[in-house]
Structure 1
């Protein structure tokens, strides 16, 4: 093996003395430095990221596997992004965390990496950073929490939106809300539904970056530790085989990930993260590809928010290998994965163990699936909608705009009885895009106005340049590009304007005369100078639009694993 770490630990003289001597203060025997591959365990453990709070144990399992295979494990921390606590939004810091990962790997004596990912943004940020270095890399996800329980029913994060609406209407008491809160998160792990975290775990498995079965094993199931231990063993072999990320992340792997995301009803956030990963590894991927490759792939996984069941149920039904087996005819089955085998090798024998949870393509849970990409004068560079989570009757709709200029304006007005809105209106939220917020928060699935909830309205067309939680649902158009803060058409929408949505025709249009729009554009004032220092300024100055993946422009591609300057 040609080991990168030998440039540190294999040196003679002063430099080698320093590198080895200071590592030995941790009780490391001398023979650990003698020709053994160094495996970096990149850990996003944090008590401020509850989804990842069990990662210390997971890291120990990986270490055991590395040692068993003859490697030298070294665990290191990177910035952890906790979706539930971070303000203003964890997405603001995805690119920052990816820089932390990239530079931590490159700067240190590491031959291969195991990425411990869980909560939503920890997966794409770690994969993005690792792509830019391109060493042998394997992902271990943290797993979903056990299914929640409330009043004899199964619940998950998607039910938060339902509880919130019920609370507005007064149909659930404060005591019942407290009971639901206590029963929601019963164990370690990320959201129990097919939200963004589960979509990301499924994404890396479909890309071939994990051992088979990674995505669906519950966080507290003993098999999660078994998978982590086997991953520790496998990464040592990957170094011997020189199986780098770039050998796995070919165009075909990205197409597979898009098709699997369609089949599981995955998060719309999938698009923005996969685009960013493709940009780091150098694979050409366009927003239209998400529509192209998911078209015709039915929804076979009956999981919330598009269906009924939970990640725990997916595991018992066969997990992502069973999903891939069901849609095998669509996939690039000869794509290589981290275990050295192809997608076909990994999924051909794993049929669904429960067709109520994982159906066949001949009898799918829902023929509608995937991410539909819209175009039109309101979203010149594109927008997305998830039809499996939408209301069929609203997929072709024309209505009057009810405009909120920003998130603060929305919060003040949405439940006002004076709000001029009816069930046919189109709710419009501006200035929640990458630059406008900044960070593109998950606020696109705006709540239904209280005055309409009281009338029994449960869904409306909602559009914004922001994102939606993967646990959310509804007829929600997201990621409008260009965003309003940079002068996209969304900036010019006014109350009462007619907006036309036609999902089948892939169109979203503002029905306002060109002459009127020209007048409005003359009065546009842009203000992106409210941040004058630090990371927020760097982000606003350099973040790309959502249809490109919202990465920082100077982070596209990678610098490889070479350290350009030496020390000591």
Structure 2
């Protein structure tokens, strides 16, 4: 065990006070020695859940981290929170609960850690919403904090072909189009996943895993990584040891989560073609860190001369494990170093530049150099125009080489994705259209309503290159095609999307980076629910959530 100088701990209460006495009574009854009660008290935030394969391995990881904390001279406490899974938590209310669970986790962590006055936090992050939630909580609390990546799952084999959750997801469209039977889809689903962890593509979960490392909040070499691999477990043990050192060093989260760190994460997202959802999450992290930073503008500015360095599924032929073997995020950051803030500090105690100096160079195949990119454009693009004056996001990496750079077509408006998916079967959705799914944003839902299933079904039906989609609803990082997401302002805030009618011409121009409609009609707020009818958490969320361009964080509006 490493010896550390005696450090005053906020968790050590004054002897003789009521707080000291009643806590001692509780902990002594739990078998915690008086000596241990004086040590740094480390929260291990475990989003374990038996509802989803994303989280089922985290209990063992929590035990491993706790053992490392004890060996380093700390006292670990495991804390459980809500565990949202994009493919499980979306079942209820058309996915409305999914986005709000991000902020529910943040508040849950705050209540547990601040309520108990603990000294530091290790976050076990897995599915899409947990990683940004944990980074937001770290930024809000400003305690020594490390994120441990839960890792990606492995796919399987069906009909002699390699398959994964993405294959399953898009095949729903094949059923709707009549080219696959329900029985075949069921057999495919049974074979699609063969281990714990998150979706294996560069969707939101793996994107946020990578960006957590780009932000400096993981141990170096954490992302991407296969769930339960020796590499992942080694990083978990390292985190348990390092967090105790961080307490003694006074290295808190906001010393790492700086504006420079967010800029570095944006560069990695652009180079890899990460999920469109990462923009809202980075904005939320910046907001919780009290950074005066417009992340949408930052993405727009950095994208002007950025290039894409890798083509990881669903953006191209390479797999996320290929990126891991090519050196992962550390190699990406070495490759991007001239564009990064090299002096940004990481939880390891070393700077981005110091870590880049010992990282593996790019292999030139899976990960390319900036002078020889996969494409001479960034993986993400901000569009603006009469339909999205505050911006909208296209995952340029997922558009596809054969797709027209300029798409113009008549709008076909749907109130939700169920109606749109039905339109694939009855011929309502036709080539040449721009499908508009609106009233589905954070306030319009409330909580973003899923549009991602329709986009996946559209591709599964073979219409991905012939139909464009414009939405303020929730997309998946697995989605690909000409999809304009996170339209801002959303229709519930009276954005131009609210005034679009069937047949209105919509033009998407990737070269001009615009999305326009003519005429632009003023309309009142369009929601997918009756305002004031939601009770419970969704009703509270609707009252508190801010605009998505500022991260959709839950803060009471100023009077």
Structures share a fold, TM > 0.5?
yes
Q: Aligned with 1:446: secondary structure?
A: helix
Distance in structure 2 (CA, Å) of the matches to 1:361 and 1:33: 52
CA-CA distance at 1:302 after TM superposition: 2.5
* Equivalent in the alignment of 2:4: none
Measured at CA, do residues 57 and 507 of structure 1 come closer, stay the same or move farther in structure 2, by a change above 3 Å? same
Pair 1:47-2:50 in alignment: yes
Distance in structure 2 (CA, Å) of the matches to 1:531 and 1:460: 34
Q: Retained in 2: the 8 A contact 1:141–1:201?
A: yes
Q: Aligned with 1:73: secondary structure?
A: strand
* Equivalent in the alignment of 1:83: 86
Q: Aligned with 1:229: secondary structure?
A: helix
Question: Aligned to 1:395, which of 395, 398, 405?
Answer: 405
Output one character per residue of 1:76-109: Cα deviation in whole Å (capped at 9) or x when no partner.
1112112211123211221122111112111113
* Equivalent in the alignment of 2:431: 423
Q: Retained in 2: the 8 A contact 1:352–1:359?
A: no
CA-CA distance at 1:39 after TM superposition: 0.8
Q: Aligned with 1:165: secondary structure?
A: helix
* Equivalent in the alignment of 1:17: 21
Output one character per residue of 1:332-357: Cα deviation in whole Å (capped at 9) or x when no partner.
11110000001122222322574332
Structure 1: 5+ residue stretches without partners: 557-568
Distance in structure 1 (CA, Å) of the matches to 2:525 and 2:448: 25
Distance in structure 1 (CA, Å) of the matches to 2:81 and 2:525: 45
Output one character per residue of 1:365-422: Cα deviation in whole Å (capped at 9) or x when no partner.
23232321111121122111111111453331211111113344434434213x2x54
Output one character per residue of 1:4-42: Cα deviation in whole Å (capped at 9) or x when no partner.
1112xx5235542321221122222221013x1111111
Pair 1:477-2:484 in alignment: yes
Q: Retained in 1: the 8 A contact 2:455–2:479?
A: no
Pair 1:304-2:313 in alignment: yes
Distance in structure 2 (CA, Å) of the matches to 1:115 and 1:422: 46
Q: Retained in 1: the 8 A contact 2:456–2:479?
A: no
Measured at CA, do residues 456 and 550 of structure 1 come closer, stay the same or move farther in structure 2, by a change above 3 Å? closer
Q: Retained in 2: the 8 A contact 1:300–1:358?
A: yes
Question: Aligned to 2:59, which of 42, 56, 74?
Answer: 56
Q: TM-score w.r.t. structure 2 length?
A: 0.91
* Equivalent in the alignment of 2:553: 551
Q: Retained in 1: the 8 A contact 2:491–2:527?
A: no
* Equivalent in the alignment of 1:562: none
Distance in structure 1 (CA, Å) of the matches to 2:101 and 2:371: 42
CA-CA distance at 1:278 after TM superposition: 0.4
Question: Aligned to 1:131, which of 135, 139, 146?
Answer: 139
Q: Retained in 1: the 8 A contact 2:492–2:526?
A: no
Q: Aligned with 2:165: secondary structure?
A: coil
CA-CA distance at 1:179 after TM superposition: 3.8
Distance in structure 2 (CA, Å) of the matches to 1:107 and 1:207: 27
Q: TM-score w.r.t. structure 1 length?
A: 0.90
Distance in structure 2 (CA, Å) of the matches to 1:522 and 1:13: 57
Q: Retained in 1: the 8 A contact 2:47–2:130?
A: yes
CA-CA distance at 1:455 after TM superposition: 7.9
Pair 1:279-2:287 in alignment: yes
Q: Aligned with 2:278: secondary structure?
A: helix
Distance in structure 1 (CA, Å) of the matches to 2:457 and 2:64: 48
Q: Retained in 2: the 8 A contact 1:444–1:465?
A: no
Q: Retained in 1: the 8 A contact 2:308–2:376?
A: yes
CA-CA distance at 1:158 after TM superposition: 2.7
Distance in structure 2 (CA, Å) of the matches to 1:242 and 1:127: 18
Distance in structure 2 (CA, Å) of the matches to 1:411 and 1:384: 22
Q: Which residues of 2 match residues 65-464 of structure 1 at below 5 A?
A: 65-86=68-89, 87-88=92-93, 89=95, 90-286=98-294, 287-352=296-361, 354-392=363-401, 393-417=403-427, 419=428, 421-444=429-452, 446-447=454-455, 458-464=465-471
Q: Retained in 1: the 8 A contact 2:225–2:231?
A: yes
* Equivalent in the alignment of 2:511: 504
Distance in structure 2 (CA, Å) of the matches to 1:383 and 1:542: 23
Distance in structure 2 (CA, Å) of the matches to 1:311 and 1:20: 48
Q: Retained in 2: the 8 A contact 1:445–1:473?
A: no
Distance in structure 1 (CA, Å) of the matches to 2:64 and 2:29: 23
Q: Aligned with 2:425: secondary structure?
A: coil
Distance in structure 1 (CA, Å) of the matches to 2:529 and 2:171: 37
Distance in structure 2 (CA, Å) of the matches to 1:525 and 1:299: 36
Measured at CA, do residues 478 and 526 of structure 1 come closer, stay the same or move farther in structure 2, by a change above 3 Å? closer
Q: Aligned with 2:23: secondary structure?
A: helix
* Equivalent in the alignment of 1:564: none
Distance in structure 1 (CA, Å) of the matches to 2:155 and 2:259: 35
Q: Retained in 2: the 8 A contact 1:3–1:37?
A: yes
* Equivalent in the alignment of 1:566: none
Measured at CA, do residues 118 and 386 of structure 1 come closer, stay the same or move farther in structure 2, by a change above 3 Å? same
Distance in structure 2 (CA, Å) of the matches to 1:53 and 1:264: 28
Distance in structure 2 (CA, Å) of the matches to 1:166 and 1:354: 37
* Equivalent in the alignment of 2:494: 487
Measured at CA, do residues 262 and 524 of structure 1 come closer, stay the same or move farther in structure 2, by a change above 3 Å? closer
* Equivalent in the alignment of 2:474: 467
Structure 2: 5+ residue stretches without partners: 1-6
Q: Retained in 2: the 8 A contact 1:370–1:388?
A: yes
Q: Retained in 2: the 8 A contact 1:445–1:474?
A: no
